[in-house]
Structure 1
């Protein structure tokens, strides 16, 4: 009999009271078949967790051994152990970069080679500590701790890696190059903007130092251009009625209805309705 698990679900059902119906939430439970255990995933998760524990143990062991070696020549013990921590962190960081490039074997090659070089240096430092302590054999055995951790992580990463075929890899490279180009242009445009702002600020500073006035600024307030409304507005001769204002506008050459409305509101009634002004304008034009 297959295994099942109980799942709670909900649905809207009609419910009527006194002739009024509303949709209410009905909660119910159903038994769903439960898939069998994915033992492959469980085993892989366990192996990955074991590799993580081995990596931590390798860091502790190498740091203790190399730190004791450096402490012989470094006055500050904390500094010696901090420097010793670098040896294993370097190749572990290279392993992390190799993990990030697991879909691209070409990009993963460099961190893989760098990780092996860093591992060899760390193992040599641990072996040197055993040799200086007079226990060369024990130092060689101790150095294999980092080597075993590296081997374990290499096997795990190879199992997680999913290399792409040649055509898919080329497509991914093209998309990566296109996105990288757009990202690079953001930095280039930002650099060009800063350069243009620096040039503008330099020109402004030089103009101020030489006493030259900006080219776009008028020489005096009298030379400032008048707005179109000021050019087309005739002078006002005291208070006016709407009819007098419209007649004055016509005699001054203002023929556009919108301009007439603006003039009436300026010299006669600021709240004059546009319909009334236009009606008066049509009436005066017919009688003219």
Structure 2
């Protein structure tokens, strides 16, 4: 077994003239060296190669497509547009990697990435055809395809495989959390709408009456309720019948009268419903 030497320090007592202090003393220990992780080494080497190939592919396709577009537009605009051809399928590949545990979600970026790659490869081949070097154009287009293929294989090799049961469980958890996240802006929107409704209702309640009724004399004022009977407190129905028999026809006046002589907390809807029944009975 291979070992490596490591120097460490420890504190030991040291006495001079009868006075002792702790001082640092170096010492060496031999630690075992674990065997080399060749899987990690190979994976790192492949990742570095994939990054190098991807960089070369982006440079080649950008230069080729930029030169093709440069025939019609200025160079800065041509090369700025040319780099988007590769950035699109690279971004789609990254989104596919993020959705690796959700196959339905990963399907859309996978299809979009293949379409974007096909468009980029076609544009590179068209540049070769425009320059009279179709074979070179096709060869350059194959570089992008090889870069995409290598990254697809690399991502597949580094993705842990889940059992169907574990994947269904993960999808159920994701759906539950997604529903909770989706309800946050919805609740915020409902709270905002509720606040607007309350503000509107408050504004309507505090708006002064622009055309108040001004009775000509005190005898026509509906606010003056008739004389209370001497038989004691009345029910809401008795108060409504009394108001109708006394000739009070204004619903607001009837409500005020009932709340004054019968029930101060009587609901307006109940009073008006009783009023309609009393009118039909009379």
Q: TM-score range by the shorter chain?
A: 0.5 to 0.7
Task: Return the alpha-carbon distance in structure 1 between the equivalents of residues 162 and 23 of structure 2.
Answer: 51
**Are the aligned partners of 2:128 and 2:135 in contact in 1 as well (CA < 8 Å)?**
yes
- 3-state secondary structure, aligned to 2:82: helix
The C-alpha deviation readout for 1:188-234, integer Å capped at 9, x for no partner, is 111112112222333344445x237xxxxxxxxxxxxxxxxxxxxxx
Q: Provide the residue aligned with 2:55 in structure 1.
A: 56
What's the counterpart of residue 121 of structure 1? 119
| 1:4 alignment partner in structure 2 | 4
Aligned match of 1:211: 208
Distance 1:185 1:24, change over 3 A: farther
Where structure 1 has 5 or more consecutive residues not aligned to the other structure, the ranges are 16-22, 213-288
TM-score by length of 2: 0.64
Q: Distance in 2 between matches of 1:203 and 1:112?
A: 52
Shift of 1:92: 0.7
Matches within 5 A, 1:138-217: 138-207=136-205, 210-211=207-208
Q: CA deviation at 1:83?
A: 1.0
Match of 1:38 in 2: 37
CA RMSD, 1 decimal: 3.0
In the alignment, structure 2 segments of 5+ residues that lack a partner are: 15-21, 210-282
SS at match of 2:71: coil
Secondary structure, counterpart of 1:35 in structure 2 = coil
Looking at structure 1, the residues matched to 181 and 72 of structure 2 have their Cα atoms a distance apart, in angstroms, of 47
Q: Which residue of 2 aligns with 1:242?
A: none
| Total equivalences in the alignment | 205
Task: Give, in angstroms, the shift of residue 60 of structure 1.
Answer: 1.1
TM-score normalized by the length of structure 1: 0.63
CA gap of 1:130–1:167, structure 2 versus 1, over 3 A, is same
- Report how far residue 10 of structure 1 moved: 7.3
Q: Distance in 2 between matches of 1:9 and 1:159?
A: 44
- With over 3 angstroms needed to count, the CA separation of the structure-2 counterparts of 1:37 and 1:129, relative to structure 1, is same
Q: 1:9 to 1:92 in 2, by over 3 A?
A: farther
Deviation of 1:33 after TM superposition, in Å, equals 1.3
Distance 1:199 1:28 in 2: 78
Secondary structure at the aligned position of 2:31 is classed as strand
- Report SS of the residue matched to 1:31: strand
Q: Could you tell me how far 1:109 is from its partner in structure 2?
A: 2.8
Q: Say if 1:10 and 1:129 are closer, same or farther in 2 by CA, change over 3 A.
A: farther
Deviations 1:246-272 (A, max 9, x none): xxxxxxxxxxxxxxxxxxxxxxxxxxx
Distance 1:144 1:46 in 2: 22
- Aligned equivalent of 2:98, options 97, 100, 114: 100
